[in-house]
Each structure stands twice: as C-alpha cells, then as structure tokens.
Structure 1
C-alpha cells in the first residue's frame, strides 16, 4: 500500500477518503481550512506581497480559494478575489464569509502578478461554460504567473483529458489531499508546471495507485561477486545496435554480469561478453537471473524462433521492441517466471489485440487490463509512463525530459529494467526503479542527447539512489 504522500486517488476514492476523515470527527470546513492554508504557503513563496488575484468558483474548490485569499491577506499580501459566481456549498459560503478582503464580480477589469485558479477542482466532468472559459483565459493573460489549486479548471481528473481546448498553462499546480491521475497523464500534465502536494490527513487507501517515488537502492554486499549481483542475458537479433545500447545501459544499472547472445560479435565493447552460436545451446547457463529479448530482434521467422527460445528460459524476462509485436498468449502459456513488457503506444495497441483487450479507458485502465489479461507487468511507456501489475498494483511516473523522444531511448529503458530484475528485485519494483533511473538519467544529460549519452548517465542516476 503506498504511503499517503505517494498515493494517487480517483475522484471517487478522494471523496470516500474525505468522508472518512469527517466520520472520524473532522468537518468539511476544517478540511478546507487545512487545505487552503497549506496551499497559501506555496502561493506566498511565489507571490509574497505582489498582486494576487484568486478566481473562485461556486464549489468547494472556490471555498479553498477564499481560505487562500484570507491567509495571504492576514500575512499582509495584496490579494483580491474574483468570484465567477456566488458560492453554492455550505463550506464555500462559510469561507466566503470569513474572507475580509475585496471580492469582485466576473466583470471586473483587473491585472496582477499571480493568478490563483480556484474555479473548479477535481470533480469537474463537463467543459467549462463559455463565460467561465473566457473569464479564466482573460485573467490568465493579465497575470505574469498562474497557479492551479488541486487541478487546472477544465481538466478531467481521472483521465487527464482536457475538457476545453486552449486552456492556460500554469507555473505551479498544488494538489490537495492526494495526487490525482491528471497530474501525471497526457494531455493535461504538461500544462500544470511544477507539482506540489498539500496533505489534509488522508489515510492510506486500499488499492490506490502510487506516484513513483525515488527508489532506495542498496550497494552490493561486501561479499558480492558478479554472479551474486546477477547475470543478465540479452538476446540480440538482426540489428545489433539496439541490443548493444540495452547492454550498455544494463551494465550501469546494477547487474554484475551482462552477456549478449548474438549471431556475431560486431562492434561489441571490450567489457561486454558476446556469445555466438545456436541460441538453444548458449542459453543453458543456470546462473542466468534474467533475460532481455526484443531490442533489434527483427520480426521474421528467425526472430520468432529466438523469442520462443528466450521465453523458454525459466527466469524473469523483459520483452521489448520487436518482440512485443510477435508476442501472444501462446508464447506465455508455459511461463511461470515473471515477465515484463515495455510497450510504447503502438506496441500497446498490438498487445491489446493479441490478448483480446478492448483498449478502452484511460491509460492506467488500459495498462491494468492488459496486465491482468496477459499475466505480465506492463510498462506503458511514453511522456506519461504507467506501470501495472497483474495483481492490481499501479504506478505513474513523474514527468521526464521531452528530450527522451529520440531513437534508442526505449532500448536503454529495457536494459535498465532488465538489469534491476537481474539483481533480484521484484518485477513490479524493478520496473519502477528502471523507469525512475531512465528519467533521472535524462535530467542529467544535456539537451538533444543521444541514446548512447543517456546510457552513459545511468550510473550517475543510480548513485543518487544509494
């Protein structure tokens, strides 16, 4: 079960969690006060005594806005409220009554330094009205900085979809109580700027997804040797470069021994062991801990044969790239060891067809459905990477560098995940560690980096997790 600070809640889960707090003796007003004052701390760090406009809607998100405004006013901040409409809930009305500053209607002409969007929160399920949409965008243009409270108005919380086109971009989004899926999913996530979380005492929720935390990775023991640290077998194919990239990444991600099984040892670095010959003969080492198949494999009959032989090895497997297009239920029918698949969107669609998934719903829902149908841990990679396990565990990765959108970075990711599996880490945890290291390595690279540079940065990313 994820820690309260890591859990991602649906709208329904968040409502249930708040109801639990109220049943335990709190109140809507008390929770609103905690959330609003906590959010005001972050707003103050940006705004200080500069001009702040808080846009308040009719519901409890608007009520949070009145609390924020009053907290800033008490500190001596220059703050005014623009009420898009009068408050409708009892808690919002109470917060409005407690605010001792200026409240203006939606027709006011105002500019300032910081706009705080409290128009609508995570419960919004329909597009903003033309009046609200126009007001929000007009105010955003008139302020140098924009902050969203809980979620930007016009975003669907559970799916990350934009309910209106042309919504403003934000410098900061302050989540209240728990993370929401939209904080991590496309297309909403890039609009949110930096993310911060204000807790309100929500307890751990059974079955909640988690925001992927920085992993804690232990250094090898004093008595470690290369086999105890883990032997990873990488199955090469028609295009050797991809497998070599995966091997380079794997060597920097913790495995003690990385061995490439290839038809020929072309261009292999001196520190990489390459085995040639029939794959059925060389994949007999019972010291193998994990196997990676797919990068550069090809999609012909020869590739199909190598995939079948690789998956016959009774160890944990990572399946990537070409192997995902060739994979189906038949190849997994006899496997008892964990299998991790790392599809991008096109490969995800192919796997959904192969395993008879309808492909409907949000990305987390799709990944979880495929994990349950296939028995694999699914790393649905992309600008909003989601990790799902057959037992229902679900994680969303933080936003990573958009410079990852270059050829070969998926091979690096596969190598890092496979390396973590080879160290003996649980498949779901290894997938999470690999995704984190991959994203952090990208942060350490210069702009417009290559996949080779990304692989070279993996050890530095690993060092930050020790």
Structure 2
C-alpha cells in the first residue's frame, strides 16, 4: 500500500477506525498493529537498553502496554509506569497480555528511552499539574523521548498546548494517519522526527493532505521560453524585492520573467525590465502568470497598479503590500485564479477587508478567507498551510527556522508564480512552491540570506525530477 499523506481530525480518525471495525477488525486488533508498529521504532532507538513506557487510562495507554510487551518479546528491557488503571476494554485487554513489571507513578523510573502513552489525540481538557510534572520527571530521567500518536498535553486538531510546559521529543510515531498537530505550531515544534504507522485506514475524500515532494518533469524536447511560462512581475518603488522574487521565479523553472516597473534601474542581465504602460503591457497573450506585491509599496500609485494587474484575466499571485491594499472591489469581476501568500499580519488585513472573523485555528481561518475571497490562501509562517475555496487543505512539514529573515517571502511568491506559469493547477502550484521553498532552505547553509535561498531553488527542483 502506498504511504498515506492524509491528515485526519479526531472525528475523522474515529470514523475511519469504526469503518475498519465494521469490515471485520476489532479495537484490540488495531491496537496490536499500532502498538507493535510503534515498538519497531522504539526498538531502533533503544535496542536492549531500558525503556520506560508511561501508560494512561485510555486506548493510548493500551498502545503503551502493547509496545512494552513487544519490546520484552524481542529480549529488550521494558517497564510500564501506570499513571492510571486502564479504563477501556481494549486497554484492559492489553494490560492483561503484558507480562512485565508495572510501576506506580510515584516510582522514579530511569532508563534510556521514555515513551509517552499517557494521553492520545482525543485529549481536549488541560493537562493536570501532577500529570505534567510526571511527564517532565520521566523525560528528564531518560536520554531519549518518544511520543506515541501525539505528545500528551497537545490538542490534536489545532496544535495548541493544553499545558503550561511540555518537553520536546526526539521522535513522534503517528498511528493510522497524520494529525493536524504534527504540522501546526506550537505542537509541531515539540515532535522531533515523525513516522507514520499504517493500520489500514482508507483514504477519506475530504481529508486534508500533507505537502510532500512533488513529481515534476523536465521541459519537453521542443520547449522554448514561452512554453515554460512567462511570469510578469508588477513592481513598484522598491525594486530589490521585485528582483528577488523574479530571480526565484527563474530558478523555479519559468522560461521568461519580465519586470514591469515605472522606475528604471539596474536589474540582472537575464531579467527584462519594461517601463511600458502596465495596462498595455499585460495585454501580451503570452503571459502565463502575474505576480504583484513584492516591492509594490502602499501609496496611491501602488493601489492603481494592483487594480490594473488584477483587471487582467491572467492567473495571479499576490503577496506583501498587495495583500494589505487588496479590497473586495479588486475581485468583484475577476474570474482568473489568484494565489495569495499572507503571513499573520497580512492575513489579519485580509480578514478585516473581507469581514471575516479572526477566530479559530489557523486552518479554519485560512479556509474561511479562501471561501470569502475565492482565492487560494498560502498561510505562511513558522507553520504553513494551503487552503482552497472548495475546502481543500494541505499542511507543510516543519521548515528551517533560518527562513525567519527578510526577503524569504518574496522568494516563495516567485517560486509559486513560476509553478503557476508552468501550467500547474493553482492549488498544486501553491503546494509545489511551498515544498520547493522549504527544501531550498534545508539545502542552504545556516544564516542564509534570501538571495542564497533563491540560488538553492534549482537544487530543490532537481530533487523532484
């Protein structure tokens, strides 16, 4: 079975498990598959060194008993700390099959690997202080930390924390499907490496998806600069950001990038600068995508250039200043697709302009503004997701924190515009751009600049061919 990339809410995961049971499985059988799959990863870390599994009252605790038993069957050294007695039938069954030592929560267990199976993805209430202290004590007493499904004290559907302080884990083993907390901060920052255990969950049509490496193709043998995509970049009074975005668009595969600016100045020799009237210039039928925002400014002239750019029925990417200037009037008669790339401040500006409440999780807010505007929304930041007006949602993995420097958003906008100009469907273009941007960051040296990030885009692109 191919690896699943779907991300399920707690309710969707519960429905998926019920469907497996209806087809002849059982809670106990699913627990055994999940627990033994997780035990494989625990064994890789611990081998025969001491493993302490913290078990809670529910089925996540039952998974812990299965893990500890599987480690013991391999000849490993595993003990269970029972924070609570098992309360579900499946958890009690797993406890009965476990043949090893069970310690009370008051015992100060030490070892090589701590496995957190206290609470799973269904937790919605704040973590009790004594449970929070127990996790912290066990984490400090072991060299490695592994969370099963999600760390205890994490709200699975939002990525929010249900405790004042939670430790960081070296590894999180997801059970059955990815959860939103694996991708959304602050929880995603605690997870460490991520691995998924397949328990046979079928694809759910409405499920969100993880953004993974795209499969791209080299240009056709008869390709030329226009078939590879002409990107028109509408610039303003600050040419540096526009040049940076244009360079990124080139390096992400666009065959031709043309900057439209009323301000003459130095641009790299492989970029074309046009000072023609913008309305006339955008009538060129060979333009495959228009990018407006980087370096645009926020004055009356910038507002007019944005209006002219969006009046042209060309697929568009809007970023930076354009997101602050955008109004419902700009979109009232438009039919061509738009991809918007807001950070948190720009998302708030969009929510004000389009009268959306800035409430709910990051995913809920992105979907709401996508539906209100008809745009594809790339809600970027320390965690990034892509939302479409039709309800599609995709989440990116945790990217390099070195991206927190000026200009990297311009690079992202240029990469997405390039993918759009290549003829990709807008939602796919956004997801491809997000992945290439993160991969280029991974390949760049520490403390990279936005220019260095742009120069790494071809190497990231090469990984997809």
Shift of 1:122: 0.1
Q: Which residue of 2 aligns with 1:261?
A: 260
Note the alpha carbon deviations across 1:337-394, whole angstroms, 9 max, x for none. 1000000000001101111111111001100011011000000001110100011110
State the alpha-carbon separation in 1 of the partners of residues 83 and 455 from structure 2.
Answer: 52
State the alpha-carbon separation in 2 of the partners of residues 226 and 264 from structure 1.
Answer: 25
Note the alpha carbon deviations across 1:19-70, whole angstroms, 9 max, x for none. 0000110000000000000000111111111111000000000000000000
Q: Which residue of 1 aligns with 2:150?
A: 151
Q: Which residue of 2 aligns with 1:174?
A: 173
Q: Which residue of 1 aligns with 2:19?
A: 20
Q: Note if 1:54 corresponds to 2:53.
A: yes
State the alpha-carbon separation in 2 of the partners of residues 260 and 18 from structure 1.
Answer: 53
Q: Which residue of 2 aligns with 1:96?
A: 95
Contact 1:236 1:243 in 2 (8 A): yes
State the alpha-carbon separation in 2 of the partners of residues 69 and 116 from structure 1.
Answer: 9
Shift of 1:263: 1.7
Q: Alignment RMSD, CA only?
A: 0.8
State the alpha-carbon separation in 2 of the partners of residues 106 and 323 from structure 1.
Answer: 56
SS at match of 1:107: coil
Structure 2 segments unaligned to the other structure (5+ residues)? none
Matching of residues 269-280 of structure 1 within 5 Å: 269-280=268-279
State the alpha-carbon separation in 2 of the partners of residues 296 and 283 from structure 1.
Answer: 18
Contact 1:294 1:324 in 2 (8 A): yes
Matching of residues 62-73 of structure 1 within 5 Å: 62-73=61-72
Contact 1:80 1:103 in 2 (8 A): yes
State the alpha-carbon separation in 1 of the partners of residues 311 and 250 from structure 2.
Answer: 24
Q: Which residue of 1 aligns with 2:306?
A: 307
Structure 1 segments unaligned to the other structure (5+ residues)? none
Matching of residues 67-82 of structure 1 within 5 Å: 67-82=66-81
SS at match of 2:297: coil
SS at match of 1:346: helix
Note the alpha carbon deviations across 1:285-315, whole angstroms, 9 max, x for none. 1111100000010000000110011111111
SS at match of 2:144: strand
TM-score (norm 2): 0.99
Q: Which residue of 1 aligns with 2:240?
A: 241
Q: Note if 1:133 corresponds to 2:132.
A: yes
Q: Note if 1:109 corresponds to 2:108.
A: yes
State the alpha-carbon separation in 2 of the partners of residues 386 and 238 from structure 1.
Answer: 30
Q: Which residue of 1 aligns with 2:377?
A: 378
Matching of residues 199-214 of structure 1 within 5 Å: 199-214=198-213
Q: Note if 1:323 corresponds to 2:322.
A: yes
Shift of 1:4: 6.4
Shift of 1:264: 2.9
Contact 1:4 1:178 in 2 (8 A): no
TM-score (norm 1): 0.99
Moved over 4 A (4+): none
Q: Which residue of 2 aligns with 1:221?
A: 220
Shift of 1:281: 2.4
Q: Which residue of 2 aligns with 1:292?
A: 291
State the alpha-carbon separation in 2 of the partners of residues 288 and 330 from structure 1.
Answer: 24
Q: Which residue of 2 aligns with 1:251?
A: 250
Contact 1:249 1:416 in 2 (8 A): yes
Comparing 127-136 and 191-200, the one that deviates more: 127-136
Shift of 1:265: 3.6
Note the alpha carbon deviations across 1:372-428, whole angstroms, 9 max, x for none. 110000000011101000111100001100000000000000000000000000000
SS at match of 2:25: coil
